[in-house]
Homo-oligomer: A and B are copies of this chain.
Amino acid sequence: MEIEFIRALRKRLPKSDQLAVGPGDDAAILQRDGSVVTCDLLCEGTHFSLANDSPLRIGRKALAVNLSDLAAMAAEPVAAFLAVALPRPDTEIAEPLLEGMLPLAQQFELAIAGGDTNVWDGPLVVSITLIGRCPHQPLLRSGAQPGDQLLVTGTFGGSRLGKQFDFSPRVNEALQLQGDRLLHAGIDCSDGLALDASRLGEESGCGVAIDLSAVPISEAAREMASQDPKRSPLEHALGDGEDFELLLAVPPNAATELLATQPLKTTLTRIGSFIEKSGLWREETEKLVPLPTTGYEH
């Protein structure tokens, strides 16, 4: 939704000493015990369509988007709480919704710990709150410094062709890199590479320059561009969103090392750097050219 409006709402929230990290990052962190908490609600027509997408895939996605938020904090999952509004009379979809979550719950050793089941005359809504913990320092959006390199996992664009449901939350990748103290800041790419990169810069008080020739473009982005030439593969990669890859701010030496050794199961790619001048830019040898922050604003 319109980001100014969410900011206005956020300003209405009183400061609380219960929070080590408050609203505005990928998840909140509680002061008392360091619990990392994130909450995402998925609804029919916006995040899925029951006409096209099976309840199994919808259930998986609902848990996976929350896991991606924990990944962006370098947190390991502990427990998920599930609230659903089931459309009458199709209440039997509750079971495949839950089934769709179980493999991910098992993979990441998280408990599906409870929730609330409602039946109503509206469309399907699935809301998940996920609680995790940080075995290392939490990874925030706000730690990037000018000179840091912008590294990303995986490839971007065209997630509508399938990845928006089938993506792998990069939980283990973030934990591994953060455990080695290699990261300054991070965010997961849910709303579009350009938009989320600009957020990472903004929250860190610096700017981001992207080398457009280096952006790893997915096969799906090329396929969508070939079907409809109005948008190029690169435009899909920059603006489609729901890639659920990690965007990471990495100090130069660590970045060089990571790019050479590629220690993760997924490829790390350098696509730009953090700069003093705020805003989102194309990285050129001679001058900076502004880059539109394409992406999906909820």
| CB–CB A94/B9 < 8 A | yes
| CB–CB B113/A37 < 8 A | yes
Residue A145 is within 8 A (CB to CB) of chain B in the complex = no
Please, how many angstroms separate the alpha-carbon atoms of A24 and B114 in the complex?
A: 8
Chain B residue at minimal CB-CB distance from A35: B35
| CB–CB B1/A86 < 8 A | yes
Chain B residue at minimal CB-CB distance from A92: B5
Chain B residue at minimal CB-CB distance from A8: B95
Please, how many angstroms separate the alpha-carbon atoms of A159 and B2 in the complex?
A: 37
Please, how many angstroms separate the alpha-carbon atoms of A111 and B35 in the complex?
A: 14
The segment from A102-110, A240-248, A284-292 found at the interface with B is A102-110
Chain B residue at minimal CB-CB distance from A106: B14
The segment from A76-84, A174-182, A262-270 found at the interface with B is A76-84
| CB–CB B127/A1 < 8 A | no
Residue A280 is within 8 A (CB to CB) of chain B in the complex = no
Q: Which of B6, B79, B86, B121 contacts A117 (CB 8 A)?
A: B6
Contact mask A94-129 → B, CB, 8 Å, 1/0?
Answer: 110011001001100111111111111111010101
Chain B residue at minimal CB-CB distance from A46: B120
Please, how many angstroms separate the alpha-carbon atoms of A117 and B22 in the complex?
A: 16
The segment from A25-33, A150-158, A215-223, A231-239 found at the interface with B is A25-33
Extra A-B contacts (7), CB below 8 Å, given A13-B111, A16-B111, A18-B78:
A5-B91, A9-B117, A14-B105, A16-B110, A22-B114, A28-B113, A129-B129
